[in-house]
């Protein structure tokens, strides 16, 4: 169930980490707005009750507010005050969506009828998606695998195909895409990848969930070590002092909290509907209330706990909003 990465021919390119293309400066205008000038009074989210929620590509709390955002094939959705709403403009196919304390980073493709170039490259919004700023690789690359530090704003990407500035491989940028460095990725082993995640504040810490386990690096991805059992891990998310990851082996599934200081693990109970055929694909915890955790499954179920897994509420079942 882990999302397939790129052909194994490119795996050797990622793991050998050729230096060509690293530390290159992009030619993108990192302040250009891709959308019309914003109207601060414009209401761009409309409540939905019957619309199906599926094709989810990311989840997170934007702007340190008590609002949970989902990135989908046709725009952003928001869960707030026990209600769902959907964006009415910029309804793009957001891939690699990453929430931060000031907004979000993403990649993907423009909506049908848009005059924007395809793909979007790396974009940023600080106003809930009203306007989008292009940062890098606009019209060149769709990054399915993207991580951003919630507070640090470092960006990590897996570049699957060579573009004008980067070869295939694992890269990071500490200045929102202006300059890039390539990671060596020593010790990393996989056939398929679930996602990548980075610590909210410590830019040097990055993790990758793979079919062979959870791998963590403390040196910007230059070297990785296995931090779980050697079995598929579909998703990982960092908190300040711990991380969450979901793993499965056959029909046995588990959601773990792992301390960063001593690798001590704690199993978090899951809804019974989560299983080997319906694994967790995305995890998000509240930036200020870590006991609040939301998971999205392969079959578009969305569950939320406010007591660290002791009880769960079904927000969405098979894509259908639950009242």
Express the helix, strand and coil content of the chain in percent, nearest 5 each. 5, 40, 55
Q: What is the pLDDT of residues 300-310, one digit of tens each?
A: 999 999 999 99
- Whether the predicted pLDDT of 207 surpasses 60: yes
Q: What pLDDT is attached to residue 5?
A: 43
Q: Which of 35-39, 89-93, 264-268, 283-287 has the lowest mean pLDDT?
A: 35-39
**Three-state DSSP state, 4:** coil
Mean pLDDT for the chain overall: 91
Residues 47, 53: Cα–Cα separation, whole Å: 13
Structure token pair of residue 207: 């993790």
157-165 contacts, C-beta under 8 A, 24 or more apart: 157/96, 157/122, 158/5, 158/14, 158/193, 158/196, 160/5, 160/6, 160/10, 161/6, 162/21, 163/137, 164/27, 164/137, 164/140, 165/21, 165/24, 165/25, 165/26, 165/27, 165/136, 165/137
Whether the predicted pLDDT of 48 surpasses 90: yes
pLDDT mean over 81-86 = 97
pTM value is 0.91
pLDDT exceeds 70 at position 149: yes
| Local confidence band at 20 (pLDDT 50, 70, 90 cut-offs) | very low
237-to-94, 170, 173, 322 alpha-carbon distances in Å: 19, 18, 19, 25
Bigger pLDDT: 201 vs 33:
201
Sheet holding 193-198, edge to edge: 193-198, 206-210, 213-217, 225-226
Note the pLDDT tens digit of each residue in 219-233: 999 999 999 999 999
3-state secondary structure of 177: coil
pLDDT value, residue 201: 98
Q: What is the pLDDT of residue 23?
A: 46
Q: Is residue 204 within 8 Å of residue 196, measured between CB atoms?
A: no
- Burial class (CB within 10 angstroms; exposed 0-12, middle 13-18, buried 19+) of 108: buried
- DSSP result, 208-246: EEETTEEEEESSTTSB-EE-S-SS-EEEEEE-SSEEEEE
């Amino acid at each position: 169930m882990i999302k397939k990465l790129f052909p194994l021919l490119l795996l050797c390119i990622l793991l050998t980490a050729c230096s060509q293309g690293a530390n290159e400066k992009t030619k993108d205008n990192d302040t250009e707005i891709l959308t019309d000038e914003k109207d601060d009074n414009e209401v761009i989210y409309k409540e939905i009750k019957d619309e199906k929620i599926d094709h989810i590509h990311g989840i997170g709390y934007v702007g340190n507010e008590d609002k949970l955002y989902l990135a989908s094939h046709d725009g952003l959705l928001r869960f707030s005050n026990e209600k769902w709403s959907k964006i009415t403009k910029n309804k793009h196919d957001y891939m690699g969506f990453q929430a931060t304390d000031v907004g979000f980073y993403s990649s993907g493709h423009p909506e049908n009828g848009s005059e924007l170039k395809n793909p979007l490259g790396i974009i940023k919004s600080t106003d809930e998606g009203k306007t989008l700023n292009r940062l890098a690789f606009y019209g060149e690359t769709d990054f399915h695998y993207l991580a951003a530090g919630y507070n640090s704003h470092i960006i990590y990407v897996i570049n699957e195909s060579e573009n004008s500035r980067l070869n295939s491989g694992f890269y990071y940028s500490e200045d929102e895409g202006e300059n890039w460095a390539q990671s060596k990725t020593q010790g990393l082993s996989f056939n398929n990848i679930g996602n990548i995640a980075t610590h909210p504040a410590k830019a040097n810490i990055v993790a990758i969930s793979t079919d062979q386990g959870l791998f963590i690096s403390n040196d910007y991805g230059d070297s990785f070590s296995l931090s779980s059992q050697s079995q598929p891990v579909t998703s990982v998310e960092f908190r300040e002092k711990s991380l969450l990851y979901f793993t499965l082996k056959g029909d046995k599934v588990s959601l773990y909290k792992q301390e960063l200081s001593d690798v001590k693990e704690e199993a978090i109970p899951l809804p019974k509907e989560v299983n080997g055929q319906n694994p967790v694909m995305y995890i998000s915890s509240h930036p200020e209330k870590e006991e609040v955790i939301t998971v999205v499954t392969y079959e578009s179920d969305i569950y939320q706990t406010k007591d660290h897994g002791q009880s769960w509420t079904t927000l969405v079942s098979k894509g259908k909003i639950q009242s």
